[in-house]
A and B are shown apart, each in its own frame.
Chain A
Amino acid sequence: IAGRHSYAKYNDWDKIVSWTEKMLEKHPEMVSRIKIGSTVEDNPLYVLKIGKKDGERKAIFMDCGIHAREWISPAFCQWFVYQATKSYGKNKIMTKLLDRMNFYVLPVFNVDGYIWSWTQDRMWRKNRSRNQNSTCIGTDLNRNFDVSWDSSPNTNKPCLNVYRGPAPESEKETKAVTNFIRSHLNSIKAYITFHSYSQMLLIPYGYTFKLPPNHQDLLKVARIATDALSTRYETRYIYGPIASTIYKTSGSSLDWVYDLGIKHTFAFELRDKGKSGFLLPESRIKPTCKETMLSVKFIAKYILKNTS
């Protein structure tokens, strides 16, 4: 029997599935659950749609848990759904956002990997697909997107933690997400992906040092968003393009979504800066989520006001 779900604790996959059901029951007018696909191990990929159900609205797509061991990331997506639904009608900003926008939230992108990190190997990162001619398992889903996919020769070996997969979008999880985003391209105005760790807010590009046309705009949003985040506990984030802020990466979701035409894409690297790394204690979940929420709300407000 799965124990109780808690926003202050890390929840395993079974608890997260039950939680999605509870959210549907509790807020039927505001939450719907969409199965966008399934994984190699036949687990469902659920997106929660938050907001009013009538008519088409601007939307923000958010995903968490693309890398299995980054547990704080799915914890934030759950927190976001909880806070959004709880504060509707009470908090002025959230009410306005949910009246006028929808949020698509994928609480766990890499479900098989996440389960593996709970049951077998806490340090697992990739998904759990088998690789031809290799005993090594898994593809790094954040190298599997069709954007400069084959530009790095260092991601082509199945035993690497950053293995890009045999082809772009070869993985069922990637395919499910890309199909969903493509089919909602008219309404999705922004994309936010959550990782850990290192306290950064990253913008395109990762595969090149070139800057996108709206770089100044994105940089300004990132600056204010990180300022907003720091107001709660003075947590310092750095921000900037992936390639120049960390290092060049190919095949990432952030760049793929941007080049598809969604011109506001952001990647959070949540707490901490290395003291605990991927093993952020549960006592840090709530503060991390609270401060991140300020940032995400600012981005959402900006998108609502500044996109057509």
Chain B
Amino acid sequence: IAPVHFDREKVFRVKLQNEKHASVLKNLTQSIELDFWYPDAIHDIAVNMTVDFRVSEKESQTIQSTLEQHKIHYEILIHDLQEEIEKQFDVKDE
């Protein structure tokens, strides 16, 4: 099996300030696969929580526009996950 590549996959950080924000995110998971980094799963999210999740490049536009549409504060922590994976090996062999 070929190893999974994460080209241009993104990690979002979203600040959920009210119930509506939480339900917007929950609704998004009905149609888009999100890999939750923090908290561990969608059912753990709550109001006032900062949520980190990974999403494919393809779906990241939908995520971004939905968040903007509902005025949910977000930042993109990682723009290209594959690049970040390669960057973690930043120590040369001794």
A residues near B (Cβ < 8 Å) are 3-4, 6, 8-10, 119-123, 140, 152, 154-155, 160-162, 197-198, 246-249, 274-283, 285
CA of A119 to CA of B3 in the docked complex: distance in angstroms?
7
Contact of A10 among B35, B89, B93 (CB under 8 A): B89
- Chain B positions within 8 Å of A154 at CB level: 41, 43
Contact of A277 among B37, B44, B87 (CB under 8 A): B37
- Asked if A8 and B91 sit within 8 Å, CB to CB, the answer is yes
- The chain A residue sitting closest to B77, CB to CB, is A274
Question: A279 to B4, alpha carbons, bound, how many Å?
Answer: 15
Q: A120-B4, A277-B78 are in contact. Are A152 and B87 (CB under 8 A)?
A: no
What residues of A have a CB within 8 angstroms of the CB of B87 in the complex? 279, 281
Q: Is the CB of A6 within 8 A of B43?
A: no
- Least distance between A106 CB and chain B CB atoms (Å): 21
Chain B nearest CB from A149 CB (Å) reads 16
Contact of A122 among B6, B13, B44, B91 (CB under 8 A): B6
Q: Could you give 7 example pairs across A and B, Cβ below 8 Å?
A: A122-B4, A123-B35, A155-B41, A162-B41, A277-B52, A277-B78, A279-B88
Given A120-B3, A275-B77, A281 and B90 touching (CB < 8 A)? yes
Q: Restricting to B6-43, which residues have a CB under 8 Å from any CB of A?
A: 6, 11, 13, 35-41, 43
Q: Which residues of A contact B38 (CB under 8 A)?
A: 197-198, 274, 277
Specify which chain A residues have a CB less than 8 angstroms from the CB of B49 in the assembled complex.
247
A162 and B35 CA atoms in complex are apart in Å by 11
With a CB–CB cut-off of 8 A, which chain A residues contact B52? 274, 277
The answer to whether A246 and B91 touch (CB under 8 A), given A123-B4, A274-B13, is no
Q: Which residues of B are found within 8 Å of A248, using beta-carbon distances?
A: 44
